[in-house]
Amino acid sequence: PAAQQRAFLCCISYKNRKRWELKGSFKDLKNMTDLLLQQFGFSPDSLLILADKEPYPPPTRKNIEEGFKWLVKDIQSGASLVFYYSGHGRRQQSFRGDERDGFDEAICPLDFQANGVIFDNYINANIVRPLTTGVTLHAFIDCCYSGTILDLSHVYNANTRKWEDNRALTDEFKGTSGGRAICISACQDNQLAADTSRLSGDENDTNGAMTWSFIKAIKDNRKITYSGILNSMQE
Number of domains in the chain: 1
Identify whether 187 is part of a domain: yes
Identify whether 11 is part of a domain: yes
Least confident of 16-25, 35-44, 85-94: 16-25
Identify whether 214 is part of a domain: no
Identify whether 188 is part of a domain: yes
* Short-list 90, 176, 192, CA closest to 136: 176
Q: Which of 11, 88, 108, 143 is catalytic?
A: 88
For residue 97, what is the domain's CATH number? Answer: 3.40.50.12660
Question: Is 143 annotated as catalytic?
Answer: no
Its domain, for residue 71, covers 5-196
Q: Which of 10, 143, 144, 187 is catalytic?
A: 144
Identify whether 219 is part of a domain: no
Least confident of 77-81, 86-90, 120-124, 186-190: 186-190
**Residues with Cβ within 8 Å of residue 66, at least 6 apart in sequence:** none
Identify whether 208 is part of a domain: no
Query: What does the pLDDT look like over 100-151, one tens digit per residue?
Result: 776 889 999 999 999 999 999 999 999 999 999 999 999 999 998 898 999 9
Identify whether 58 is part of a domain: yes
> Taking the CB of residue 70, how many other CB atoms lie within 10 A of it?
12
| Helices 25-34, 209-220: crossing angle, 10 deg rounding | 20
Whole-angstrom Cα Rg for the chain: 17
Question: Is 11 annotated as catalytic?
Answer: no
pTM: 0.93
* Short-list 49, 68, 178, CA closest to 123: 68
Torsion of CA 219, 222, 226, 228, to 10 degrees: -70
Determine the Cα–Cα distance for residues 155 and 173; give it in Å rounded to an integer: 16
Determine the Cα–Cα distance for residues 113 and 15; give it in Å rounded to an integer: 14
Identify whether 162 is part of a domain: yes
